[in-house]
């Protein structure tokens, strides 16, 4: 049992927890948050495994996680924009039904 393996396990557990949340919730925003928990789990596995050689940290997984962080924030932001648009349309539809 060493530190990289320990944190890689924590990452795997976070991934599983996020997957459970993604599947169990019906609310779209809960799904988006759960997806981000899954992403955090994946990043943790990467960074933990970069420490497999305790003397020299591997820079390649670090660079990949940096890329992944920016991609995941832009994907999340776009998903939230779509969600807001959906909410606004549902609201407009509801009020027009109300009037007629």
Partner 1 sequence: MIEWLFDGLLAIGLLWLGWRTVVSAELFKAIVMFIVLGLFMALCWARLAAPDVALAEAAIGAGLIGALLLDAYRALVAERWQADDRNAKPLVAASLAILSSVLIGGLAWALLFSPEPVVDLNAQARARLADSGVGNPVTAVLLNFRGYDTLLEVGVLFLAWLGLWTVGEQESNSAATGAWVEDSDLLTALVRLLAPLGVLIGVYLLWAGANEPGGAFQAGTVLAAVGVLLRLSGRLRPELSPDLWVRFGVTVGLLVFSAIAVGVIPVGGNLLEYPGDWAGLLIVVIETSLMVSIALILTLLFIGSAGLRRGGS
Residues 10-69 contacting partner 1, CB under 8 A: 10, 12-21, 23-30, 32-34, 36-37, 40-41, 43-45, 47-51, 53, 56-60, 62-67, 69
Distance CA 58, CA 74 (A): 26
Q: What residues from 66 to 85 belong to the interface with partner 1 (CB under 8 A)? A: 66-67, 69-71, 73-78, 80-85
* Nearest C-alpha neighbor of 48 from the set 38, 37, 35, 62: 62
Is the distance from CB of 50 to CB of 61 less than 8 angstroms? yes
Q: 41 or 100, CB closer to partner 1? A: 41
Q: 56 or 96, CB closer to partner 1? A: 56
Q: Is 2 a binder of partner 1 (CB under 8 A)?
A: no
Is the distance from CB of 41 to CB of 11 less than 8 angstroms? yes
């Amino acid at each position: 049992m060493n530190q990289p393996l320990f944190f890689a396990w924590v990452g795997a557990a976070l991934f599983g927890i996020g997957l459970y949340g993604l599947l169990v919730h019906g609310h779209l925003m809960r799904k988006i948050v759960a997806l981000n928990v899954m992403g955090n789990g994946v990043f943790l596995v990467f960074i933990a495994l970069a420490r497999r050689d305790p003397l020299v940290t591997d820079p390649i997984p670090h660079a990949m996680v940096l890329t992944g962080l920016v991609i995941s924030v832009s994907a999340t932001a776009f998903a939230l924009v779509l969600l807001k648009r959906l909410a606004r349309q549902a609201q407009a539809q509801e009020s027009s039904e109300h009037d007629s």
